[in-house]
Structure 1
C-alpha cells in the first residue's frame, strides 16, 4: 500500500466530506503544475477519478473538455479506504447531512420599511387595492417594472398572491390576497 502525502490526505479527506465526494476545490496554495502532478498521481493510484460536469450548472471544474462541459474530481471508494474511511459510512454521513440541510426552513425575507417594495405591498394590501396608475405614481416605476415586481419579488420570492380584477369605473385593480 502506498503511503499518502499530506497533500493527498488533505484532498481525500476534504472530498470525503462533500456531497458526491467531490475533491474540488483543492487546498489553498495548490495550483498549476503542482496541482496537476498531485492529481495525476492520485488518479493513477485510483484514489480520484474525473467525472463529467455541466459548466452551466456551476459545478466545480477541474478541466474544460469543450462545448460547455468539463470534468471535476471525485474521491473513489479506494481513495476513501486509503484514508481509513469505509465508503458506505462516508455515503451515509453525506446523505444525513443533505437531509438535515433540506429540513432546515429557509429564513423568511426581511421586509424593510420605507422601500418601494414595502410601499407596493401596503398599497396592494389596502381593501381598495391599487390601480396600475396609482402604483406608477407612487413608485416612479414603469408599468412593466411594476408588473415584474408583483410577479417576481412579491409572488416568487415572498410567496404573496397578487390578484387583479377589472372593476367598473376604476379599471384593473391589483390586490394581495382576496379579490374584493
Structure 2
C-alpha cells in the first residue's frame, strides 16, 4: 500500500475485490455496508480520486486506486478502430501541449468524460446538452464551458448545432477530428 494514501479497511476491501474479481468495476460491498453508508464510502473514494465514474451509475478503480493498493495499473487496451486511435492521438497531443505550459505530465484516460462526450458528439445524430448532462453528471454550464474551452480553444475543433424540434443538438463532424489527426478526408 502507498505510504501517502491511507485506506480504511472497508475502502481497501472494496478496491481489492474490484481489482481481483471485476476488472476494476465497483460491484461488491461488504455485507455491513448498506444504503447511505455505501454512498459515503463511494463519496470518500471519489473525493480522494481513487475511483472514477463508469457509465451512468457505475464506478471503477482509478489509477490512484491501484497505486494506493500497491497493485500495478492495467495496461490500456488498444482502440478498436483506426478512427478511435487517431482521436486518442489528437486528444493526447492537445492535452500534452496544454500541460507542457502548466508544468507536469499529461494524464489521459481513454474512458474519460472528455472522450465520452467527444464520442457522443461524433454520432451521426449528435447529442443534446441534456444527454451529455445525464451521461457525465455535469451541470448545464459545465457542458457549455467544455464546448468553449476544451473543444474549441484547447482542441481547436468546430462544433455544429441544429435545432431538432425544441431541442438543440450538437455534433462534432468526424472530418474535423480526422483533419486534426492529419488524415485526408
| TM-score, normalised via structure 2 length | 0.36
Which structure dedicates a bigger proportion of its chain to strand? Answer: 1
Query: Bigger radius of gyration, 1 or 2?
Result: 1
Q: TM-score, normalised by structure 1?
A: 0.37
